[in-house]
Structure 1
């Protein structure tokens, strides 16, 4: 966790690739985003090409040398694919194993038997919250998407009625509740108490996820009444299978990466010395890559064997699982490239410099700074680290509870209005088969609701405790 924080802070201190003033940078950001949206919506250009052109336009308007803009874009694309791409690939393999073996059918049939009608969105938000607690958002997405799509199709639910609660559960955990990595970074930066932050985080998260999930999903389902995308929907398992894995074995496989990552987070909290053998072991087994890889390898036995899969069939399943995600990887990677171009042009630093002179309450200041950096860079992590670093001195005179609320204000602001410069935006768009406009009306609005509701609750709590 510390290494991630240091890496992100180092990224913020890199010399910008342009000497443009604040006004020119602001215009460049708006122009770059406008180019992307126009190319996708008006000219129907593929999102990967649009993001690439938009990044070049951003650099040009900012007065940056185009060779450095290209370097920034490719570096951002590469780092995003290196981090998120491998997880998407492993998640796709695990999802295909679940589908072909009948394991996904087992989960879906059990969920449909236990929850139906109005209870289903509540069941999905609960499952997503539990699964998403220790996971990065992208990992949670690739684990839950097959289940979400199958529940929507077989239960005859509107896709957004099921998908929004799952996304809300993942996103709220991402921003507000330790031991998720994001809140832990802010806790470390402002020296807040972990236990108090956890307790208050859960207190804020529960009403927030209810409003942004099951409640908002009613409206989202009307605003984007889209069918389940067939290309992402796992097919029903073959009737010729010898059997299908039990519910217990299937859930064990799905939750294995969750348990491993949660164990790593808890060890990071309990063990102070990063050089200790125990922590080094958990740093490896609890990393997203190893945790998902372990789930895939375990799934070969817990899912493949009951279905009677041969080695050849397992190899075929893995190959077919990777085929549909090529486009998604490129789009998500290009979103990361655009984000890195924004950062390297100095947009995040611009926001920090402008906000230094704002004379407003500390909690609201922390939320607004995180919001501004999130909007400009598209990265919740960059917003969290930058805002925490800027307002950390204010925590020195705060009580234990208010320092914890400062962490939550930062986390809430870091989730505000995900749009075209956020790789997560494109991930949701492609997985759910949405247009850019539909993604803005559903995912982006949901993120804004989470940010505003959580921020409001934090300010309210600051008045009563």
Structure 2
């Protein structure tokens, strides 16, 4: 396929998705499904293969994300009903003040996001964002965007996040220096793309609607006696701690033995979230006086509003798979490789291209680093650590419609497609551009 035809098909597909959902008010799942199939057919895929490709992409994404969303929502429901989210919100407000709450959420996002993927960190923290927005009478966007920006930055730039470890290995970068550069570049990037941009855009996006999830988390009176702050923080950090243990399992025990296998098992995001959710049923449920029947009711009723979110996340995965299987993404990557640009810029550009083509930041980072890594071994004067950072920055660019995070943000924050593009897509693009700028600046001193 011609690279220029591939670009044209991708642009037309994305434009069609935006227009059909935003202007003609057609159900987003139907739009994503229909446009994905039409894209594949226009690219020359046989009809049955086009359908199978969409199903495979949807299933692959939902195999992980649906579990994360379901368990994270149950944990969030227990935090809300027990008053745990209110306790954390009161503590944060007391320490940071209402005027600095967006900065506080950015710091929390940076800390929580280190060992977890974006989707996991987001479902863990969104109930807290809902509660803080209500308590401080602050627009949800002003709290949730800094949190999301911080989670995205840690995903892309700061080891030991799993995604950055892929690029670190491909470039043979030093771990300590990569972490140092990740913090030095990632912190101002998160600040500018998060609290600063959120302060600018919040009054300019127009009215938003309250999602069903927000309503169930905040449309109730908190209990008279709130759970202890440390107990509530433990419930949130439990999956984070378990995942950190899983990441460091090979340092704690010999790879392949029983304890090592067990640590990897409990450190799996799905298992860690399940353990944390079961723990919350006790420490925030029955130990707080709720009956087992009430805890069961909470865990059942909170799943209803997640149905559309799960469908849209899956459809975004199907859309991305069609781009890959139809050859559109590889043709665009070939076009990018033909551009004669500096190595830092090439790595960033390739990551951007793969990000748009597949929707996955992790795939973008691993693909771009896999292509540029061998080239770096024969080049001189380019920092492998900055290559990791700049590849990660490009991997989150644009916040495209085939990214599961786009639809998560849209539904959880009650935004339209247009509003999500003006908020989240711009935040992701700012992270990419600022990451590139700071990396090029840093390269002058290495």
Report deviation, 1:140.
Answer: 0.7
> Aligned pair 1:110/2:118, yes or no?
no
User: Where does residue 266 of structure 1 map in the other structure?
Assistant: 248
Q: Does 1:301 align with 2:300?
A: no
Equivalent of 1:289 in 259, 265, 270: 270
Match of 1:84 among 65, 80, 85: 65
Counterpart of 1:190 in structure 2 is: 171
Q: In 1, Cα distance between the equivalents of 2:321 and 2:96?
A: 43
Distance 1:230 1:439, change over 3 A: closer
TM superposition shift of 1:418: 0.9
Q: 1:248 aligns with which of 202, 225, 230?
A: 230
Secondary structure of residue in 1 paired with 2:212: coil
2:113 counterpart of 1:126? no
1:139-198 superposed Cα distances (whole Å, 9 cap, x missing partner):
011011111111112201122211111111101001000111110011112221111111
Aligned equivalents of 1:33, 1:75: Cα separation in 2? 20
Q: State the distance in 2 between where 1:259 and 1:91 align.
A: 15
User: How many angstroms does 1:29 deviate by?
Assistant: 1.5
- Compute the displacement of 1:242 (Å): 8.1
Measured at CA, do residues 359 and 276 of structure 1 come closer, stay the same or move farther in structure 2, by a change above 3 Å?
farther
**CA distance in structure 2 between the aligned counterparts of 1:273 and 1:23, rounded to whole angstroms:** 50
Deviation by residue 1:46-105 (Cα, 9 ceiling, x = unmatched)? 111110011011112212111111101111111111110100000010011111111112
Determine the structure 1 residue equivalent to 2:79: 98
Q: 1:31 Cα shift?
A: 2.2
Q: C-alpha separation between the residues in 2 aligned to 1:343 and 1:98? A: 39
Correspondence for 1:157? 138
Farther-moved stretch of structure 1 (251-260 vs 303-312): 303-312
The equivalences for 1:9-408 within 5 A come to: 20-227=1-208, 229=210, 231-233=212-214, 234-235=217-218, 243-268=225-250, 270=251, 274-397=255-378, 402-408=383-389
Tell me the matched-pair count: 444
Query: Which has the larger displacement, 367-376 or 445-454?
Result: 367-376
After superposing on structure 2, the runs of 4+ consecutive aligned residues of structure 1 that deviate more than 6 Å are none
Describe the shift of the 1:411–1:88 C-alpha distance in structure 2 as closer, same or farther (beyond 3 A): same
Q: Does the 8 A contact of 2:72 with 2:123 survive in 1?
A: yes
Aligned-partner Cα distance in 2 for 1:390–1:272: 33
- Helix, strand or coil: the match of 2:330? helix
Q: Aligned residue for 1:8?
A: none
Q: Give 1:406-445 correspondences, 5 Å limit.
A: 406-445=387-426
Which stretches in structure 1 are left out of the alignment for 5+ residues?
1-19
Q: Distance in 1 between matches of 2:260 and 2:386?
A: 29
Aligned to 1:449: 430
Query: Contact 1:208 / 1:453 at 8 angstroms: preserved in 2?
Result: yes
Q: CA-to-partner distance for each residue in 1:356-408, whole Å, 9 max, x for gaps?
A: 33222111110111111112221111211110111011332467980111111
In 1: Cα distance, 2:269 partner to 2:423 partner: 27
Q: Name 1:16's counterpart in structure 2.
A: none
Deviates further, 352-361 or 209-218: 352-361
Q: CA RMSD in A?
A: 1.9
CA–CA distance in 2 between the matches of 1:253 and 1:130? 15
In 2, the alpha carbon distance for the partners of 1:320 and 1:40 equals 28
Structure 2: gaps of 5 or more residues: none
